[in-house]
Amino acid sequence: MNFTDKLFNTSRKNRSLLCIGLDPDPELMPKANILEFNRAIIDATHDLVCAYKPNLAFYEALGMEGFTILEKTIEYIPGDIPIIGDAKRGDIGNTAKAYAKALFSTFGFDAATINPYLGFDSVEPFISYRDKGIFTLCRTSNKGASDFQDLPCPSGSPLYEVVAQKAKQWNVYGNIGLVVGATYPEELKKVRSICPEMPLLIPGIGAQGGDLASAVNYGTDAQGEKAIIAISRQILYASKEKDFALAARNVAEKIRNQINSYLASRQRAK
């Protein structure tokens, strides 16, 4: 099963566009073993999500132990739930080929985030894994995104729009998506208009201040799908006490229900 089919199956079964980022930060976590923490979060939320998204930086920061934790976390996630490796890799072709092998063959992620700014030869090794999802950084959620992503290109369009157009052009196998932050709703709306059929990975809700209603209204496709709304800290650290898993579930369920409420309102307005 390819990534898109796996995503749709889980999203429809769980009635969810919510993706939880498994980003364990010892400074924010309750006092718990990191692997046990991840497993508890998964146990509490697996029926509420469309995907999980581990950010590799949090595991790399732990050294070799972190890679073991990541491997065991991936193994623990139910097999029908897609896993997005948030790696943001991007390098020259030969190195990109090794990165793609690491993410898709070694770790076994169903999808990965990549940086397209070295051009097509840095992206092609990922695209060649036809059953895997590739989420290209387009208009990211951070404050400094405008430093480069808003710069006008010779066509007159800002760089992030050119990235969206290029991704659409490269999407010969139907396995490319885009990363667009909820913190920039007008840009999100524009990218969706450029790529109406492409999956969008949408971070920036919660700690970064993105608006959930705008993310749903502007980020989903005409059928109210193909949006993956990624939230980490707001869910993971809902409590620092022993009830952290239950607290995480309560927040995740509330957000999942809010998303569905916005979708229902949009459907009624048509």
Give catalytic residues, as residue numbers: 88
Beta strands in the chain (DSSP E): 18-21, 51-53, 84-89, 111-114, 133-139, 176-180, 200-202, 227-231
Contact 134, 111 (CB under 8 A): yes
Sign of CA dihedral 66, 178, 42, 238: positive
Q: How far apart are CA 17 and CA 11, in angstroms?
A: 6
Q: How far apart are CA 70 and CA 64, in angstroms?
A: 10
Q: How far apart are CA 156 and CA 152, in angstroms?
A: 6
Q: List the structure tokens of 253.
A: 């369920």
Q: List the structure tokens of 197.
A: 């059929």
